[in-house]
Amino acid sequence: MMINKWLKQLTQMLASMQTAIYLLLIVGVVSALGTFIPQGQTPTFYLQHYGRTTSMIINGLGLSNLYHVWWFQLLIILLCLSILVCAYRRLRWGKKISGLASLFMHLAIVFILIGALWSLGYSHSSFIEIARGQTIALNNYGFEEGQLKLNDFKIDYYPDFQPRQYTSDLSLINYHGKNIHQSISVNHPLKTGSLKIYQSTWGWAIQLTNLTGTTETIISLKDKDLFLLDEAQQVKVQAVFLPDFKDDKTGIQSKTPLPDHPHVWLTLLQQDKVVDMAIIPVGQEVQLGSYSLRFDTFYPYSGLQIKQDSGVYMVFAGFIILLAGLGIRYWFAFWGKKGAN
Amino acid sequence: MENILLDIFFALLLFTVIVNLIRLWKPIKHGDFISSMLIIMAVITFIVMLVVRTSMGGRIPFANAYEFTLLFAGGVLILAILVRRDLVSPLFDLSVALLTILLLSVASSFSSEIRPLMPALQSGWLYAHVATAVIAYGSFALAACLGIIYLGRAQETDLSLPEVDERIYKLVVLGFTFLTIVIITGAVWAEEVWGSWWTWDPKETWSLVTWLVYAAYLHTRHSYDWKGNKSAWMVVIGFVIVMFTLFGVSVLLPGLHSYV
């Protein structure tokens, strides 16, 4: 049979240590190459930065997304198979403890890679921004169930106002029949089952009221963001939050990041040209061009990374087996049997 | 205070270089003893320097490029004391001292200001990750020094070459084991702080490349009995890649791992 012969040849090739070492080095060289090419850009980006020929190679081979392109993953699968076959063959040669440890090390690496593939296929992650006091439904972001509420958010500073820690006080409600109340911070995510919630970013949000005309409308926007007031005329307002406003000869600035003297710097733009601007404290109204705006309040929002991933536990188990195998393998090689090497 | 200690550290290494250059030119009486004493004094100075910096900063100096490079330099010297036992080789002492001087020069190009820890670095993983990195990269550094001696053996006829080769192998095993721990602690920490244990960040990717190169060394040795010149070249090239991972990547390929 043709296929049988072909399969036998493939197995023989994979069983050779030479193939394994070549695959190891090819994966190394290709991975290194990927660090020199900016990843995840559009085809036009490469055309502009690398010229016709090089960009054709990059786009054609999928080097713009190298670590996820099919042939790179095929390389890794081949390496996995080669590791499995080599480790199995070596086990048949000798059943000493160091040989067994070596087998486990190699199985652990395959285990880690399977875990990684699992995560690639079955993990889900989403970035959300949630204001203090707000509640969101997790199924709107592709997760099974539960509501998430940001009860409080705070930042601790060092004496020189460099941030020391960001902390979000969260309630996870009705998640698999549980209610969890926990404070998370950088390096201390919330973990329940395969769901993890990470403290990622933060910022200020501002609430204005548009008093122009007969009806009042509330405008909520993030610090430094633009809000479209009139689509036909292309009129926008930009709000920059100054938590500790100070105006002196050095210019407009915030003295500290603490909201001790909160002001908002509003800029009215038409067709992206500045029409008018003003700096006002909380509660004050201002006339900007033909618009009348009031600065109602400000509040922090928290940027959270939410992730559902069960593959990671397979990977971590692989790590433990790999370390144990490595330790036993070389412990026995050097100290278990003195003079063997 | 720290600067004075750094000057003393540097001067001791310079003396080590001079003494061993003379020894290479013509053997001097108690040459090996003098070289040992200089290296031990340099290590003591290094430890005092660490204590001073820890007491000034209120934290163990494990957190930025300057601190890591300094730890790396000191780690190389401490490991060198263990490796050079029963190995009388002016060329080894010379290469270790030159390498340490090179690392100190690299360190002096970074800011030595003591900064408080940013949120991402406030984790117990920091200490495990950095300490194992010092051992891993220190082992690879000394393997490379021995590799250079192996390749330049014309200088020293009384050296047992299989013995040097064996020492290189043991250093690679130590380095490889610890590099595995470095990558694993890094991955577990990244999962805890960034929400992903592997992101193909340049620093991560290059540490994997380094790991693959030394894995190739171990496999060619175990399966094809590669010893001597070929494997000596591998550890020298391996260490060039280590240095690129540590310093080249930070300068040329910025990513998430921006502290070092």
Name the residue of chain A whose CA is nearest to B222's CA: A17
Q: How many CB pairs below 8 A link A and B?
A: 95
pLDDT digits (tens, 9 = 90+) for B25-79: 888 899 999 999 999 999 999 999 999 999 998 889 998 899 999 999 999 999 9
Name the helix (H) or strand (E) containing B252: helix B249-252
Instruction: Decide: residue B231, CB within 10 A, 0-12 exposed, 13-18 middle, 19+ buried.
Output: buried
Rounded distance between C-alpha atoms, residue A115 and residue A113, angstroms: 5
**pLDDT of amino acid B58:** 87
Residue B157, pLDDT score: 56
Does the distance separating the beta carbons of B191 and A341 come in below 8 Å?
Answer: no
CB atoms within 10 A of CB A176: 12
| Domain presence at residue B104 | yes
- For residue B44, is it within any domain? no
> Which of B169, B180, B194 is facing A326, going by the closest CB pair?
B180
Contact A132, A301 (CB under 8 A): yes
Instruction: Tell me whether residues B195 and A20 touch, CB distance under 8 A.
Output: no
Q: Do A307 and B195 touch (CB under 8 A)?
A: yes
DSSP conformation class of B200: -
In a domain, B39, yes or no: no
Average pLDDT of chain A? 90
Q: CA-nearest residue of chain A to B183? A: A319
Q: Contacts of residue A67 in chain B, CB cutoff 8 Å?
A: 200
List CB contacts (< 8 A) between A126 and chain B.
none
Q: How many residues does chain A have?
A: 341
Per residue in B129-182, pLDDT (tens digit) is 999 999 999 999 999 999 998 988 755 656 788 888 999 999 999 999 999 999
Could you tell me if A217 and A209 are in contact, meaning their C-beta atoms sit under 8 angstroms apart? yes
Q: What is the pLDDT of residue B158?
A: 64
Has residue B125 been placed in a domain? yes
A336: confidence class by pLDDT, cuts 50, 70, 90? low
The answer to whether A292 faces chain B, any CB pair under 8 Å, is no
* Nearest neighbour of A35 by CB, restricted to B170, B176, B205: B205
The total of structural domains in chain B comes to 1
Nearest to A158 among B116, B176, B181 (CB): B116
Q: How far is B151 from chain A (nearest CA, A)?
A: 22
Q: Which pLDDT score, from 0 to 100, does residue B156 have?
A: 61
Residue found by looking up tokens 């929002």 in the block: A301
Contact check, Cβ <8 Å, A323/B213: no
Token readout for A207 is 């609430």
For A156, which residue in chain B has the nearest alpha carbon?
A: B119
pTM equals 0.91
ipTM of the complex: 0.91
Using a CB–CB cutoff of 8 Å, tell me whether A118 touches chain B.
Answer: no
Chain A CB contacts of B120 under 8 Å are 186-187
pLDDT of residue A339: 41
**Cβ count within 10 A of residue B202:** 22
Q: What is the pLDDT of residue A247?
A: 79
Within a domain: B16: no
The fraction of chain A above a pLDDT of 70, given in percent, is 96
- Is the separation of the CB atoms in A254 and A245 below 8 Å? yes
Is 60 exceeded by the pLDDT of residue A341? no
pLDDT average, residue stretch A165-192: 95
Closest CB from A28, A315, A330 relative to B213: A28
Do A209 and A189 touch, CB atoms closer than 8 A?
no
Rounded to whole angstroms, the Cα distance separating B140 from B209 reads: 14
Rounded Cα–Cα distance for residues B35 and B77 (Å)? 12
A274 touching chain B per CB within 8 A: no
Q: What pLDDT digit, counting tens, does each position of B217-255 carry?
A: 999 998 888 888 899 999 999 999 999 999 999 888 878
Q: Which residues of B touch A196 (CB under 8 A)?
A: 195
For chain B, say whether A331 makes contact (Cβ under 8 Å).
no
Residue A116 contacts B, CB cutoff 8 Å: yes
- Residue B43 in any domain: the answer is no
- Average pLDDT of span A127-145: 93
Query: With an 8 Å Cβ cutoff, are B184 and A21 in contact?
Result: no
The domain in which residue B231 lies consists of 64-252
Q: What residue has token string 């408080």?
A: B116
Is the residue at B56 inside a domain?
Answer: no
% of chain A beyond a pLDDT of 90: 67
